[in-house]
Amino acid sequence: MTFFIQALDFNLWDIIIDGTELPQTTSKEGVKSLKRRSLYTDEDTDEDRKKVQLNAKAKHVIICALNSNEFNRVSSCATPKEMWDRLEVTYEGTNQVKDAKINILVREYEMFSMK
């Protein structure tokens, strides 16, 4: 999947791995929220739209590769990075899970050698 995404657009892969910074506005209270399209100015319209489009494209690529069960796992995620991280944990596990799997396989190999 990584090669497929990188072949489409290498910027998509960067967004999935590093996350993206979508256009935001800050309220008087200091609360950040996503910038509405109506608030885009002429100076940053192209840049803002490019960020939003790449984010949407990355989400689309991930969703198109999923079956319905996997889609249900990631449908609540707001960003492609969240989607990718959730899929990664689901199918690869955390580092502790990976280490445990390696230890189990080593133990099984050692027991097989004894037989």
Task: Judge whether residue 18 has pLDDT over 80.
Answer: yes
This prediction's pTM: 0.66
pLDDT band at 30 (very low <50, low <70, confident <90, very high): confident
pLDDT tens-digit readout, 42-101? 666 777 778 888 888 999 999 998 998 889 989 898 889 999 998 888 887 777 777 788
Q: How far apart are CA 57 and CA 69, in angstroms?
A: 21
Choice between 5 and 44, residue whose per-residue pLDDT is larger: 5
Domain ranges of the chain: 2-114
Q: What is the dihedral of CA 28, 50, 61, 90, to 10 degrees?
A: -30
Determine the pLDDT at residue 115. Answer: 63
The Cα 68–Cα 76 span in angstroms is 13
Confidence of residue 8 (pLDDT cuts 50, 70, 90): confident
Residue 30 tokens read as: 């200091």
Half-sphere exposure of 36 (CA within 13 A, CB side): 3
Rounded to whole angstroms, how far apart are CA atoms 22 and 96?
32
| CB contact burial 78-98 (16+ within 10 A = b; e otherwise) | ebbbebbbebeeeeeeeeeee
Residues 6+ apart with CB under 8 A from 35: 22, 23, 24, 25, 48
